[in-house]
């Protein structure tokens, strides 16, 4: 059914995709299932239609609310950048989404960027269903006080430890952000979670 959905998407339709969702996402407790389903299709067969649906499923629709729109446009930018980096697929949307994200954000401050990426992480990796999400669902909580987050004296994230915390979600996010945008990150521990297999371990980055 997943293949039938993919073939339909490649021809500009969505026939069989609802059936694929029912078949592949029978576990209603996994909020990122649709994202993971269409992400797989996009990364296996990247084209305009498969990746547009994947991006929308993972990032949601743009909104007029400024803070949420920053998150959404940044998520689209990140998604298309990841597919370009990993698979070499260049989307016509990437420049537009990345430009909008930068324009809305008004420049890049590394600490503010990390805060934004932590918000994206919570949204993209099933945060509402984490075993412990202390602080994550409250925008007023300092990012260094979020459960599982350790910072250095400059407020930069150095450790993300969510072992056994029911983390789920797309592999592109882990690949592109947690191992990339957090430039001071030394340890990522997603062991005993539902994250993609390559990341179910402690990953130490060199100093």
pTM for this model (two decimals) = 0.51
Question: By C-alpha distance, which of 55, 25, 18 is closest to 38?
Answer: 55
For residue 147, what pLDDT is reported? Answer: 96
For residue 62, what pLDDT is reported? Answer: 63
Could you give the CA distance from residue 19 to residue 163 in angstroms, rounded to a whole number?
Answer: 33
Low-confidence ranges of the chain (pLDDT < 50): 64-68, 104-105, 197-207
* Claim to verify: residue 163 and residue 101 sit in the same structural domain: no
**CB-based contacts of 73, cutoff 8 Å, min separation 6:** 62, 97, 100, 101, 104
* Claim to verify: residue 65 and residue 129 sit in the same structural domain: no
* Claim to verify: residue 78 and residue 131 sit in the same structural domain: no
For residue 97, what pLDDT is reported? Answer: 66
* Claim to verify: residue 18 and residue 50 sit in the same structural domain: yes
* Claim to verify: residue 99 and residue 148 sit in the same structural domain: no
31 close to 128: Cβ distance less than 8 angstroms: yes
188 close to 175: Cβ distance less than 8 angstroms: no
For residue 67, what pLDDT is reported? Answer: 43
Cα–chain center distance at 44? 17
Tokens of 107: 């420049």
Domain boundary among 49, 75, 105: 105
Structure confidence by residue, pLDDT tens digits, 164-182: 888 886 666 666 666 667 8
Q: Quick count: other Cβ atoms within 10 Å of Cβ 79?
A: 28
Domain that residue 161 falls in: 125-204
Question: By C-alpha distance, which of 131, 130, 55, 66 is closest to 103?
Answer: 66
Q: For residue 103, which phi and psi values (nearest 5 degrees)?
A: -65, -45
* Claim to verify: residue 160 and residue 196 sit in the same structural domain: yes
Structure confidence by residue, pLDDT tens digits, 99-114: 655 554 455 567 878 8
Tally of domains in the chain: 2
Would the CA dihedral through 83, 89, 69, 40 be positive or negative? negative
- Residue at 114 is within a domain: no
For residue 66, what pLDDT is reported? Answer: 40
- Residue at 118 is within a domain: no
Q: How far is CA 196 from CA 92, 95, 191, in A?
A: 28, 28, 10
- Residue at 93 is within a domain: yes
* Claim to verify: residue 199 and residue 156 sit in the same structural domain: yes
* Claim to verify: residue 68 and residue 143 sit in the same structural domain: no
- Residue at 28 is within a domain: yes
């Amino acid at each position: 059914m997943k293949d039938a959905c993919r073939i339909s998407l490649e021809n500009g339709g969505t026939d069989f995709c609802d059936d694929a969702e029912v078949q592949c996402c029978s576990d209603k407790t996994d909020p990122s299932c649709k994202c993971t389903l269409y992400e797989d299709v996009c990364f296996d067969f990247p084209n305009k239609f498969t990746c547009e649906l994947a991006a929308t499923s993972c990032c949601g629709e743009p909104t007029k609310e400024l803070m949420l729109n920053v998150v959404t446009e940044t998520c689209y930018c990140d998604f298309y950048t990841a597919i370009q980096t990993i698979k070499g697929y260049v989307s016509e949307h990437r420049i537009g989404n990345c430009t909008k994200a930068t324009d809305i954000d008004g420049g890049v401050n590394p600490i503010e960027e990390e805060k934004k990426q932590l918000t994206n992480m919570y949204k993209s990796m099933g945060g509402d269903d984490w075993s412990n999400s202390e602080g994550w669902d409250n925008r007023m909580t300092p990012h260094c006080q979020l459960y599982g987050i350790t910072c250095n004296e400059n407020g930069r994230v150095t450790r993300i430890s969510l072992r056994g915390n029911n983390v789920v979600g797309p592999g592109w996010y882990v690949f592109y952000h947690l191992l990339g945008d957090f430039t001071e990150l030394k340890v990522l521990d997603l062991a005993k979670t539902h994250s993609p297999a390559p990341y179910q371990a402690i990953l130490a980055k060199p100093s």
